Amino acid sequence: MEAAQPVPPAGAEPMAARVLREQVAMLYANIGASTLADTLVAWLLGALFWWRLGDPLVGVWLLAHLVQTLRYPVMGAYHRDPQAARRSAHWARVHSRELLMYSIVWGLAPWLLLGGADLPMTTLLMLVMLGLIAGGMAAMSAHWPSTLCFAVPMSLGLASALAWYGDLMHIFLAGCALIYLATSLYFARLQNRLLIEALSGRFEKEALADQLREQMQAVERVSAEKTRFLAAASHDLRQPLHAISLFGTALQQELQSQPGAAIARRLMGAVGTLNASLEAMLDISQLDAGVVHARPQPRPLQPLLRRLGEVFELQARKRGLQLRVRPSALWVHGDEQLLYRLLANLIDNAIKYTPQGGVLVSARARGPQVWVEVYDTGIGIAPEHAALVFNEFYQVDNPGRDRSRGLGVGLSIVKRLSLLLSHPLQLHSRPGRGTRFRLCLPAAAARSQAPETESACPPPAGPLPTRVLVLDDELEVREAMQALMQAFGIAVTLVTDETQARAALDHAQAQGQPFDVLLCDWRLAEGQDGLAAAQRLQALAPGLGLPVLMITGETDAQRLQRVHDSGLPVLFKPVAAHTLMQALAERVPHGLVAPAAAVQPDPEPGF
């Protein structure tokens, strides 16, 4: 069995070298079978001529043929050469040289076997040799030098021997042999060129496929790097935003019955917008990957419109613009969070590109749809830019990349969200006059709804814990947790690592006041694994163990799979206060009831 030859990498050798390598492989592919057939034909032919003519020169020719068969072991060494694929030119020369010897021996056959003008034997020899030439040229056409070395000496030997007799018949046969040679060489050359073109085309396609594969690998590497960057950015940006959200909720509760309550409420609305913007930036790749799923349900538009007006009113006022949001009693069928992101990006974009005048947001019913429209009196969008504005980082009339106009991803996110939600988006604009974006939403029947409140956090559905142990290495997060939980009447102990947590657990157990819940961050200082630490601390508690609630800013899929497999509940930063309180209430062991908070906070303004 022939061993496979190692092939150099496709991009490491020129096209001509690759074609030659394939040609040489074809030449040596059937050398064993051709050797056997050639030897059998030669000895049968020699025996026939010896029997018919009895000329001693027949023996001389058979001896010469026997000597030239020594070339076969030399040519067979190709298959034993581990570097054969890299030495194609050498093995091509070896093949041509050995074929030349073979062809010369057969070219001597008419001179040595035909002792006289025996026309039947002459015709027989001519047919055999022309048959060998035809079959050999078909096999050798892959390599043009080998074709010439094989066909020319044999044909010239036959033609010259026939012409030597001098009579008309033999001269005619000699001419036929030469014509046959010329015709065969012509078609062999055509076949050789077609083969080279086919091989070149194949290798070009392979090269293109390799380039495509490399580009795909490069894209995958960039995507992986982008994912790692987004994961790191997600964690690092969510940490302070999480603390701001908790501090803001505590402040909103403190100011609930004071004149500053409205300011605190707007502060939390701005925090919500910042969180939504961060989520949009970090999740744009997830929108492309199809891992963000819409959860549409019937919703009134007015809470959304009110929130949008409150959040963007100050931004519009700072730019000297008038923002008008018309009230609406209409209901739509849409996803709460994603619809807010979409419209917020449209309004934000309108404000940034409106130097004077204002922005109008309105909703109106049109058959089975509700049209939510955002008008502005800004710079407008030229027709040639209408499709480009939805590309990432593309900005109209901002060659200096004015940072006050953002990064240029707002409309890109809008496009992705409209496709995800199946809400058609229409753009109409006049340069210098303004722009209108129309979002077409499915209408929904109005339902009864509880009146909106101005509170920071709804009361949780269940008793809150009495004592909570917080394990987090971020100072501002620990302080925010403390401020929030104290507002709810929860005694909180703050620790920064597993050693301090163990000491706090031992002390609480000794005092007869064990903790009800352990709230643990995933990523601790110096790369410590918060999940593993929480599981070890949980095992220290007597009885059924210490209830654990994980909290993290991680987005890495493998890490999230670990916490999912652990069975522990997890919250993702930034966490709204009411979400955190509800999660803590769900972790309280049955029968425990925390003291009532001094003041029950209210829900954050939302959709």
Of 102-111, 347-356, 359-368, 581-590, the one with minimum mean pLDDT is: 581-590
Instruction: Tell me what the pLDDT averaged over the chain comes to.
Output: 79
Q: What is the tens place of the pLDDT at every residue in 428-471?
A: 888 888 899 999 999 988 776 655 544 445 556 568 888 999 99
What is the structure's pLDDT at 523? Answer: 81
- The answer to whether domain 467-587 has CATH 3.30.1360.180 is no
User: Helices 119-140 and 88-113 meet at what angle, rounded to 10?
Assistant: 170
What is the structure's pLDDT at 281? Answer: 58
pLDDT mean over 110-121: 79
Q: Among the ranges 247-256, 281-290, 465-474, 579-588, which has the highest mean pLDDT value?
A: 465-474
Confidence of residue 3 (pLDDT cuts 50, 70, 90): very low
Whole-angstrom CA distances from 465 to 336, 516, 522 are 30, 6, 21
Answer whether residue 210 shows pLDDT above 70. yes
Q: Could you count the other beta carbons within 10 Å of the beta carbon of residue 579?
A: 16
Answer whether residue 605 shows pLDDT above 70. no
- The answer to whether domain 292-444 has CATH 3.30.565.10 is yes
What is the structure's pLDDT at 401? Answer: 40
Taking only Cα atoms into account, the Rg of the chain, rounded to an integer number of angstroms, comes to: 44
Answer whether residue 423 shows pLDDT above 60. yes
Confidence of residue 602 (pLDDT cuts 50, 70, 90): very low
pLDDT mean over 18-27: 83
What is the structure's pLDDT at 597? Answer: 37
* Diameter of the chain measured on Cα atoms: 132
* Interatomic CA distance for residues 62 and 113, integer angstroms: 10
Q: What is the tens place of the pLDDT at every residue in 165-176?
A: 888 888 999 999
Taking CA 527 as the corner, what is the angle to CA 524 and CA 528, rounded to the nearest 5 degrees?
A: 55
User: How much of the chain is in helix, strand and coil states, percent to nearest 5?
Assistant: 60, 10, 30
Q: What is the tens place of the pLDDT at every residue in 147-197?
A: 899 899 999 999 999 899 888 888 999 999 999 999 999 999 998 899 889
The secondary structure of 205-244 as a DSSP string is: HHHHHHHHHHHHHHHHHHHHHHHHHHHHHHHHHHHHHHHH
Confidence of residue 403 (pLDDT cuts 50, 70, 90): very low
Answer whether residue 2 shows pLDDT above 70. no
* Interatomic CA distance for residues 532 and 83, integer angstroms: 54
* Interatomic CA distance for residues 146 and 95, integer angstroms: 7
Q: What is the tens place of the pLDDT at every residue in 549-576?
A: 988 876 666 666 777 777 888 887 777 7
Confidence of residue 425 (pLDDT cuts 50, 70, 90): confident
Of 48-57, 184-193, 311-320, 323-332, the one with minimum mean pLDDT is: 48-57
What is the structure's pLDDT at 182? Answer: 93
Q: What is the tens place of the pLDDT at every residue in 373-400?
A: 999 998 888 777 666 676 654 555 544 4
Confidence of residue 34 (pLDDT cuts 50, 70, 90): confident
Q: What is the percentage of the chain residues whose pLDDT exceeds 70?
A: 78
Domain map (residue ranges) of the chain: 10-214, 292-444, 467-587
More confident residue, 142 or 602: 142
Q: What is the tens place of the pLDDT at every residue in 498-516?
A: 899 999 998 988 888 888 8
Question: Six-digit token pair at 109?
Answer: 């056959």
* Interatomic CA distance for residues 31 and 91, integer angstroms: 13
